[in-house]
Every structure is written in structure tokens, then in C-alpha cells.
């Protein structure tokens, strides 16, 4: 294992690189082979997560027990992982979301045609509509919908200072005990604000689903599935775990998917020859009377390879 100073100007070398920042141990895995060996084949040994003070203990809960954005490895983590695997990892479950995706693709295309200059807003609405309906069963009409505004406010706030190492408290955890009014500890005031935003969003969405279930108007979604499987009324701790399913679905999905779509559009603009080949394949196989669908995938090998490259 290579050891280097964090102030070194040269490139880090070696399959596994170890260094310290203010006493915090950091390990970099530099090859796909090593990453697969340690994180996949030996996942039972290396599945835990580092202590992220700002993201977990300050922005979400001062007591790092249940209310964590990035749970440590344990029973609660495994329960959340099982839920996500059930909802996002099974082909049969994913196929149940396709009617939502088809509808929102049409809405996205129409919005893009009518107002191409608002491209980023249309991408945002497209993703928010799919993810929030999957989580809560509630269709989204615009970015002004209350649940969208609450969710985005919470996610944006958490991302501003929630990245590991973005603030000194991640390396010096004792800083979290300094009073919020102390000059120079803006991170603590920010954490308290974000915590309130996260709770407002999760409580609002959860309460709306519970109310809809009570009145018999709830649409099938992740939240209703978990609540129905639970059976009896959940305890406060159990209710909190269920609320955080939505946080994981939207929080993890909207930012990464938005980045992927941005990469796709940029790649098409900068590689017109690739765009033309993909369009020619679609026109030849699908025609111009409809959009490509999931059933066309095997007949569109060039487009499939193009998308695989974007995901890579």
C-alpha cells in the first residue's frame, strides 16, 4: 500500500493509496479490479461508511442513530438496502413504473418543443415527476408543486455543505459542539436549517400518503407498499425509517440522473456524427410515427451502446 502526504503535488500511484487529513484516514482504490475485490467480493468486511459529521449528525440529527443520510453498516442499513433492492432492483418492479416514465417522456418532449430555452427546467421536472410519483404516488404538474419545492430545498441545502470533507467539522468533530451563535461557525447554522427543511419535506409527504390511504384514494407507490407490508400502525422510529425511503429515492435519483441527462445532451451536441447515426437507426427501426419504447431495445444496438457509454 502506498503512503503519500496529502500535500504532495505528484499523482498518487498504486492500486491502493492511503493518506491522512487532520487525522482522518482516507483510502483510495485506483483500479476497477481492486474496487470489485474489496467492495463486491469482500463486501461483508468493507460495507461500512465513514463518519460524516456534517451530513449525518448535524444536518439530519445530532444523535447519529436512525436519522442518517448515509447509514453505517448494520441492521437498519440492511433493512433500507432490502427495501431499495425490492423497489429498484427487480425487473418486475421496474416494469411497473414504465407507464409513469412513458407519460413523463411525452410531457418532457412537449415542454422541450414549446420552450427549448428552458431545457434544464424541463429535465428537472421530468425527473421530479417520475421519482416523486414512484415514492409517494402523487403526480407532479410543475416545479412549483409544494412537494417538489420542499424536496429540492432540502436536497440543495444538504448538498451545499454535505459532501464529506467540505467543512472542517468533518475532520475536527468537536467543532459541532460550538454554539451556533459563535462567529465563524456558519456551518452549524446551515446544518440546523437544512435539518428543518428535510423534516418538513419528509413529514409532509408521509402525512399525505397516510391520509390518502385512510380515505382510500392512495395510488400504489413505494410508501404505500411499505406501509401495507408493515400492517399495524408504525412506531415513531419505524415511521421515520419509512419516511427516509422517499429521501433515498429522490435524493439519490434526481441529482445523478440530471447529471447523466446533461452528459447525454452535451455529448450529442458535440458529436453530431454520433447523433446522426443514432437518429438514422431510430428512423429505420421505429419510424417517425412514435417514440422508441422498451420493446425496441434489442433492435437498436447502436443506441443501446451509445447510452451504455453515457452511463459509463
**What are the sequence ranges of the domains in the chain?**
1-47, 51-253, 271-312
Q: What is the mean pLDDT of residues 261-276?
A: 94
Residue 5 has pLDDT above 60, yes or no: no
Q: pLDDT tens, 148-190? A: 999 888 888 877 766 666 777 777 778 778 887 888 777 788 8
| Adjacent-strand bridge partners of 19 | 26
- Between 225 and 75, the higher pLDDT residue: 225
Q: Please tell me the predicted confidence (pLDDT) of residue 158.
A: 78
Q: In 3D, which of 117, 152, 161 has the Cα closest to residue 131?
A: 152
State whether CATH 3.90.1150.10 applies to domain 51-253. Answer: no
Classify 275 as helix, strand or coil: helix
pTM across the whole model: 0.77
CA–CA dist 141, 125 (Å, integer) = 8
Please indicate whether residue 57 or residue 259 has the higher confidence score (pLDDT): 259
- What is the average pLDDT across 284-292? 92
Q: Average pLDDT, whole number, for the chain?
A: 82
Measured distance CA(96)–CA(92) in Å, rounded: 7
pLDDT, one tens digit per residue, over 21-59 is: 776 778 888 888 988 888 888 877 777 766 677 666 655
What pLDDT is attached to residue 156? 83
User: CA torsion angle for 193, 254, 93, 101 (degrees, to 10)?
Assistant: 130
For residue 153, with 0-12 CB atoms within 10 Å meaning exposed, 13-18 middle and 19 or more buried, which class applies?
A: middle
Amino acid at each position: 500500500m502506498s503512503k503519500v502526504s496529502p500535500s504532495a503535488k505528484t499523482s498518487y500511484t498504486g492500486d491502493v493509496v492511503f493518506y491522512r487529513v487532520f487525522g482522518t484516514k482516507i483510502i483510495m482504490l485506483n483500479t476497477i479490479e481492486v474496487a470489485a475485490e474489496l467492495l463486491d467480493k469482500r463486501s461483508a468486511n468493507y460495507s461500512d461508511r465513514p463518519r460524516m459529521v456534517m451530513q449525518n449528525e448535524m444536518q439530519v440529527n445530532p444523535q447519529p442513530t436512525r436519522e442518517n443520510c448515509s447509514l453505517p453498516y448494520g441492521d437498519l442499513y440492511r433493512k433500507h438496502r432490502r427495501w431499495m433492492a425490492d423497489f429498484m432492483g427487480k425487473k418486475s418492479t421496474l416494469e411497473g413504473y414504465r407507464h409513469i416514465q412513458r407519460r413523463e417522456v411525452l410531457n418532457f418532449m412537449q415542454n422541450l418543443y414549446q420552450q427549448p430555452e428552458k431545457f434544464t427546467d424541463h429535465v428537472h421536472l421530468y425527473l421530479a415527476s417520475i421519482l416523486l410519483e414512484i415514492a409517494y404516488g402523487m403526480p407532479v404538474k410543475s416545479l412549483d408543486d409544494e412537494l417538489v419545492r420542499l424536496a429540492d430545498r432540502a436536497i440543495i441545502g444538504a448538498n451545499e455543505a454535505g459532501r464529506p470533507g467540505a467543512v472542517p467539522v468533518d475532520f475536527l468533530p468537536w467543532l459541532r459542539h460550538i454554539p451556533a451563535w459563535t462567529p465563524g461557525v456558519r456551518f452549524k447554522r446551515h446544518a440546523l436549517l437544512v435539518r428543518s427543511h428535510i423534516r418538513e419535506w419528509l413529514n409532509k409527504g408521509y402525512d399525505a400518503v397516510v391520509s390518502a390511504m385512510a380515505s382510500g384514494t392512495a395510488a400504489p407507490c413505494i410508501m404505500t407498499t411499505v406501509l401495507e407490508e408493515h400492517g399495524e400502525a408504525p412506531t415513531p422510529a419505524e415511521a421515520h425509517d419509512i419516511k427516509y425511503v422517499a429521501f433515498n429515492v429522490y435524493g439519490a435519483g434526481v441529482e445523478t440522473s440530471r447529471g447523466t441527462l446533461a452528459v447525454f445532451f452535451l455529448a450529442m451536441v458535440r458529436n453530431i456524427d454520433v447523433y446522426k447515426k443514432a437518429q438514422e437507426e431510430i428512423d429505420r427501426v421505429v419510424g417517425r410515427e412514435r417514440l422508441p419504447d422498451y420493446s425496441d431495445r434489442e433492435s437498436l444496438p447502436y443506441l443501446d451502446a451509445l447510452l451504455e457509454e453515457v452511463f459509463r
